[in-house]
């Protein structure tokens, strides 16, 4: 697949799974044996791990919205710069719902094969997110 087709696939992935809350569509975007290098220890791989993560995220932030700010592709990799926004309405990593609206930014890297995600890495401003939720005191 071309870099433009890979970028379009990642844009559709973000829109369909996270913005439309359609976790059933994960099968369309993720290879069965995909490796998520950002998954917590012990999390299953492939589609099952992605489904568990998406379900957890969308339960904690049911109004979550992914905004793709940039998509950059070279070879079989696509890099997405994202902004996510949502309201904390369910338990998130042990933090009870706060009702707070949060925003965080991050970078996701996807390796694609045959139009599907086969590897994934990410880096988000987790400290900023936890501060917004009140789990850590603000800096200063």
Mean pLDDT, 10 residues at a time, the chain of 140 residues: 95 96 96 92 88 94 97 98 98 95 98 96 96 85
Domain with residues 3-132, CATH architecture? Roll (3.10)
pLDDT of residue 86: 98
Domain ranges within the chain, ordered by starting residue: 3-132
pLDDT of residue 124: 96
Measured between alpha carbons, how far is 108 from 39 in angstroms, rounded to an integer?
13
Q: Locate 126 and state its tokens.
A: 């987790």
- Rounded to the nearest 5°, which phi and psi values hold at 59? -75, -40
Model confidence, pTM: 0.92
pLDDT of residue 42: 86
pLDDT of residue 91: 96
Strand partners, 121: 109
């Amino acid at each position: 697949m071309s870099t433009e087709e890979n970028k379009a696939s990642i844009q559709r992935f973000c829109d369909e799974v996270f913005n439309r809350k359609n976790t059933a569509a994960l099968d369309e975007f993720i290879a069965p044996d995909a490796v998520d290098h950002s998954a917590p220890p012990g999390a299953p791989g492939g589609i099952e791990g992605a489904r568990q993560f998406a379900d957890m995220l969308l339960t904690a932030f049911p109004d979550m919205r992914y905004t793709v700010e940039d998509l950059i592709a070279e070879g079989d990799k696509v890099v997405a710069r994202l902004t996510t926004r949502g309201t904390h309405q369910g338990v998130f990593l042990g933090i009870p719902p706060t009702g707070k609206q949060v925003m965080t930014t991050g970078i996701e890297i996807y390796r694609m094969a045959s139009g599907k995600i086969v590897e994934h890495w990410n880096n988000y401003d987790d400290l900023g997110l936890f501060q917004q939720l009140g789990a850590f005191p603000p800096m200063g």
